[in-house]
Structure 1
Amino acid sequence: MPLMKFHVYKGRNAEEIDALLDTAHEAMVRSFNVPERDRYQILNEHEPSHMRALDTGLDIPRSEKFVLVEVVSRPRAQAEKLGFYENLCSSLRERCGIPSTDVMISFVQNTDEDWSFGRGRAQFVEGEL
């Protein structure tokens, strides 16, 4: 159910994008115990002149491999989120060569009535999920 939105600089090839999305989904499954087919991802590519991602004064170096991940989700426990941050960063470093300094993650929280997966129904509210 989490909707993952990725913002990256243009220039990655199809294999790199597949690896990024697959790795992120695996981290989501591992961290939050979501079903394997619970996969909703959108990747947006930006010209370098159209995206700024500084470091909030934390002295975190950024490169052309930078990835901003927005996760739209029902409420999650703090420990789960912290585990996800670590899982995602270590997996992206190992499988995609993206350093943890190039991964920024933000959660946007919503509730059960904010989701409809189709058929004009709210599956969480109606008990289908």
Structure 2
Amino acid sequence: MPLTRITLGQAYSEASLQQISALLHQTLVAEFAVPVDDCFQLFEVLPAHQRIFDRHYLSKGRSEAFMLFRITAGRPRTRQQKQRFYQQLCAALQATLGVDPDDVMVIIQFNSSEDWSFSGGRMLAEVTS
């Protein structure tokens, strides 16, 4: 049940956004055991003046291709799952779109099923119990 907000610059085409979406979802399915039909993503495409980031903080260097993935997920994942996810996402983006891994930042936050309502005001914890 992850929800991902992807923030990036205006240089990406509509086709690139679709590829990013597909690669992200494939990686979540493979590495986080997310169901195939569980896909919730929001893209935020911002002009350069609204994307302020340090080009070298804990990185070899970020370019205008910098993208940020903020993932909110229910069930916690192991350290190994998170590491594989980071690596596989970067590898897929690089192989498919030529995105430098130093331009990919990921932040994952976990919460419980009580923190989700997918529709109708029903708490997920009540729907799945």
Q: State the TM-score, normalizing by the size of structure 1.
A: 0.92
The reply to whether residue 82 of structure 1 matches residue 83 of structure 2 is yes
Q: Which residue of 2 aligns with 1:97?
A: 98
> 2: distance between equivalents of 1:112 and 1:67?
28
Percentage identity across aligned positions? 29
The equivalent of 1:71 in structure 2 is 71
Map of 1:3 onto structure 2: 3
Deviations 1:28-49 (A, max 9, x none): 1111111111000000011111
Pairing 1:114–2:110 present = no
Query: Secondary structure of 1:126's partner?
Result: helix
CA RMSD of aligned residues (A): 1.5
Instruction: Report if aligned partners of 2:55, 2:63 keep a CA contact under 8 Å in 1.
Output: no
Quote the Cα distance in structure 2 between the aligned partners of 1:117 and 1:70: 19
Partner amino acid, structure 1, of 2:37: R
Instruction: Return structure 1 stretches of 4+ with deviation > 3 angstroms.
Output: none
Q: Is the counterpart of residue 49 in structure 1 residue 49 in structure 2?
A: yes
Q: Which runs of 5+ in 2 are unaligned?
A: none
Segments of structure 1 that go 5 or more residues without pairing to the other structure are none
| Distance 1:56-1:122 versus aligned 2 partners, 3 A rule | farther
Length, aligned pairs only: 128
Cα distance in structure 1, aligned partners of 2:38 and 2:5: 14
Q: Which residue of 2 aligns with 1:17?
A: 17
Query: Per-residue deviation at 1:107?
Result: 0.9
Q: CA deviation at 1:25?
A: 0.6
Cα drift, residue 112 of structure 1: 1.2
Q: 1:56 to 1:110 in 2, by over 3 A?
A: farther
Q: CA deviation at 1:58?
A: 2.8
Counterpart contact for 2:2–2:39, Cα < 8 Å = yes
